[in-house]
Amino acid sequence: MKPEISEQEQRLRDKLLPEIETFKQQRKTLQLATVDTDGQPNASYAPFALADDGFYILVSDLARHGHNLKQSTKVSVMLVEDEAEAKSVFARKRLTFDAMAQAVARDTPSFSKGVSLLSKRFGDMSDNLAALTDFNLYKLAPHQGLYVKGFGQAFSLTGSELLDVNWKRDGHHGTPKTPEDMQVA
């Protein structure tokens, strides 16, 4: 039985979840952090299509991140506001989450679903890439996340469908430097 949420938590959900959904729909690519078998991280990006069961991406085995996805299913993903749209480059809106990457077999309904969603979003290029043998379809299934709207506005996302929202109020730590502290001796 799921515990009841407070009225305040419900208001937060009602406000933020549609905003987060709109933010996801407005982004066309995601930043992808993968790791190789030696633990060496790699940052890259991929166009994505969003479905009820996760994010779908097409990735080439020739790319470093494609090779890494075959080695480790753990990934970190970020969707980030365009710099030109941001009020401040220091506080761009962003959604980050930890996810599990699952290779989707070509002869499955999930493969057809993922490629179809990518094609609707990006056109024939998705079908062309999916037909190449070095391209694989992956489903990224988020299991925890963080939505940052700006300074002091960070919200953790948890739960089976990332529907549990908690405002991270612990803030930044430390004391800002004064102009005197920043002078070079």
How far is it, in rounded angstroms, from Cα 31 to Cα 90?
A: 17
At 37 the pLDDT is 92
Contacts of 7 (CB under 8 A, 6+ apart): none
The total domain count for the chain is 1
Residue 2 counted as domain residue: no
At 152 the pLDDT is 85
At 6 the pLDDT is 77
Taking only the tens place, the pLDDT of each residue in 133-143 is: 999 999 999 98
Residue 1 counted as domain residue: no
**Its pTM surpasses 0.85:** no
Of all helices (H) and strands (E), which one includes residue 35?
strand 29-35
At 163 the pLDDT is 53
At 179 the pLDDT is 43
Asked whether 132 and 115 are in contact (CB, 8 A), the reply is: no
Query: How many residues appear in the chain?
Result: 185
Q: Which domain holds residue 79?
A: 7-181
Residue 147 counted as domain residue: yes
Residue 86 counted as domain residue: yes
Low-confidence ranges of the chain (pLDDT < 70): 1-3, 159-185
How far is it, in rounded angstroms, from Cα 126 to Cα 124?
A: 5
Angle at 54 between CA 48 and CA 57, to 5 degrees: 30
